[in-house]
Amino acid sequence: MQTTKLYPSDFTDYKLVFKRSCQGLPFFASNSAAKEDMRQKIKEQKGWQITKHNLTIFLAGKVAADNFFDLDNFLWDSEETSSRQQLLQLLDNFCREKFFSGLRFEVATKELTTENLNWLLDNGFQVNQSLFSRKCQYQSALVLVGGGARGAYQIGVWQALQELDIPFSIVTGTSVGALNGGLILLADLKAASQLWESLSTDQVLQFPAAAADNHALNLLLRQIRSLTYTALRENGASTEPLNHLIQRTFDEEKMLQSQKDLYICTTRLPDFSEKVYHFQKEQLTTALHWLSASASFYPAMKATEIAGDYYIDGGYRNNVPVDVAVEQGATECIIVDVKGPGFTKKYRPPQNVATISLSSPWTLGSFLVFDPQRSKRNLRLGYLETLKYFQRYTGFWYTFAKEEFNKLWWEFCRRLRKKQDPLWQIIKAPYFWRKLETVYGKKVAFETAGLSLAELSGVWLNILPDEIYQEKTFIAQVKRVSTNQIGEFDAALSVSEWLHLYRERLVAWSDSRLFLSFLQLQGFPFNLPQILLENLAVSIVTAEFCKYLFKGDQEE
């Protein structure tokens, strides 16, 4: 199910579906009145579009003080074949994806048929005159995806879920997700955070350069060569350091106190079949071997022997164990994906299962090189990403206490339009929005482009994403870094991150170099060839918008 917040500028994208839509429930006396209200709600940024397979619905509402979602309007595509039950299921999933307490709405009782009334009552709604309400029922699972050294991100998500008081009783994990699942059973967030923030490669793997410095590309490549040579010579690097760490960390008494169930995915050799193990807290010695097995990324790491069979990383068969959670009765799956290598099953959850995917647009470093500073940053990113998902903060690449850039964007565009500035012609052009969506990494509406452009300036300048920014402090940081032209990364990078960094700094037409060049220009010659203008459009507009932000809200 895909949920999208709607803006007036999106209307052309969904115009045909909206035109043929009709009321799902009698909120208004007519469909035309319902559509007019929905248009107004979209202008107020209180409208959403939900699509699942071929079914599309529009809804409007707000979250009440008691965490119920008050539904004000509800339209569905009348040309799609769907039952009332399917429509209600989409509404219920929408609420459970946000962990609302329940769904509430008021309908025009004169338009409500006896059949519809009985149907709502049969589906668990309580009625008080014209007000209907139903509490959401939860059986939630935390699904921890494999990803090696990037796993600290998942502990950050757990920290945020605790702060938000979002419970879950089922944990499924693959590879590092299994290890983090074990830490969650210990219920000691502080200890888990400290473990990750002090974890280095030599505490996990045993090879000659495991403890070597890796904060430069040549040093990182030397360390990777050492690991590769050891793995080839010894059929996988020894995981004895990891096994010792596991034995020291997991306490049976604390484990037994946990009310959560952990399910671990591993891969059995030589047939590469999937093996799911229900973590037995009462048999901790054996259970810890399964944790080690799930994280044995063969051939880089040795396989783990259990009862005469050999097991390796569960990511070879099931890196995203959503199906395991659903089999155990989960109706909500919070999937924490750190983009590690592995096989993702082709699995479609049942219609009644709500899925929440939490991942970072940032690359999280190497999955085999453990670095305390990088883990600390990844943990922070997981924490902030979760709080953004639940609307405590805003932003995509960065985290902001409140949204302020879009108001400034509207004023910036108003001035351009008033002066008939050539830059306004670029902003109006479809090619600009296509390019912006590609560069930014997600769809951008005109109403939210201010935030997107501000964030892109930070990305191109390597401003760190692990703080909660205010608009003024972020722009001050952009100005400082663009003046000094010194990036801020200080943690271990992966090979791909190093190559990207070199490209951005050394190649004249890289996004970073172009952005910095346009920042330094006083005005811009817009008589460029069209093909060149289309390729440079996002860099040009971002630079001009940043100049406007640097000056502040001055009088023309």
Q: Dump pLDDT digits (tens) for 520-534.
A: 887 766 677 888 888
> What percent of the chain clears pLDDT 90, i.e. is strictly above it?
71
What integer pLDDT is reported at residue 554 of this predicted model? Answer: 43
Report the pLDDT averaged over residues 66-95. 88
- Residues 321-335, mean pLDDT to the nearest whole number: 98
E strands, 64-168, in order: 68-77, 102-106, 126-128, 131-135, 140-144
Domains and CATH numbers, the chain: 2-135 (3.40.630.30), 142-389 (no CATH), 395-553 (no CATH)
- Over range 106-134, report the average pLDDT: 87
pLDDT band per the 50, 70, 90 thresholds, residue 553: very low
Annotated active-site residue 313? The verdict is: yes
Using alpha carbons, select from 102, 103, 104 the residue that is nearest to residue 129.
104
| Cβ atoms of residues 284 and 307 within 8 Å | no
pLDDT tens per residue, range 380-408: 999 999 999 999 999 999 999 998 999 99
In total, the chain counts a number of residues equal to 556
pLDDT above 70 covers a percentage of the chain that reads 97
Distance CA 316, CA 362 (A): 24
149 pLDDT above the threshold of 50 = yes
The pLDDT score that the predictor gives to residue 82 is 67
Identify which of 86, 123, 141, 85 has the alpha carbon closest to the alpha carbon of residue 331: 141
Cα–Cα distance for residue pair 501/548, rounded to 1 Å: 27
What was the pLDDT predicted at 555?
A: 42
Strands, E, within 444-499: which ranges?
468-469
Instruction: Given the residues 313, 323, 337, 371, select the one marked as catalytic.
Output: 313
pLDDT of residue 483: 85
Q: Report the pLDDT value the prediction gives residue 54, as an integer from 0 to 100.
A: 78
What letters, b where the CB count within 10 A reaches 16 and e where it falls short, cover 424-463?
bebbeeeebbebbeebbeeebbbbbbbbbbbbbbbbbbbb
Q: Is the pLDDT of residue 537 over 90?
A: yes
| Token output for 402 | 């409140």
552's CB contacts (< 8 A; 6+ apart) are none
Which of helix, strand or coil describes residue 357? strand
Give the model's confidence band at 114: pLDDT under 50 very low, under 70 low, under 90 confident, else very high.
Answer: confident
Q: Is the pLDDT of residue 100 over 50?
A: yes
Interatomic CA distance for residues 498 and 509, integer angstroms: 18
Is pLDDT at 80 greater than 80 in this prediction? Answer: no
Judge residue 83's burial from the number of C-beta atoms within 10 Å of its C-beta, 0-12 exposed, 13-18 middle, 19 or more buried: exposed
Q: What is the mean pLDDT of residues 81-88?
A: 80
Marked catalytic residue, from 21, 82, 175, 294? 175
Coil, strand or helix: which one is 96? helix
Annotation marks residue 175 as catalytic: yes
Supply the pLDDT for residue 170.
Answer: 98
Residue 433 has pLDDT above 80, yes or no: yes
* Three-state helix/strand/coil letters over 252-290: HHHHHHCCCEEEEEEEEECCCEEEEEECCHHHHHHHHHH
Q: What is the mean pLDDT of the chain?
A: 91
Q: Where are the beta strands (DSSP E) in 200-353?
A: 261-269, 273-278, 304-306, 309-313, 332-336
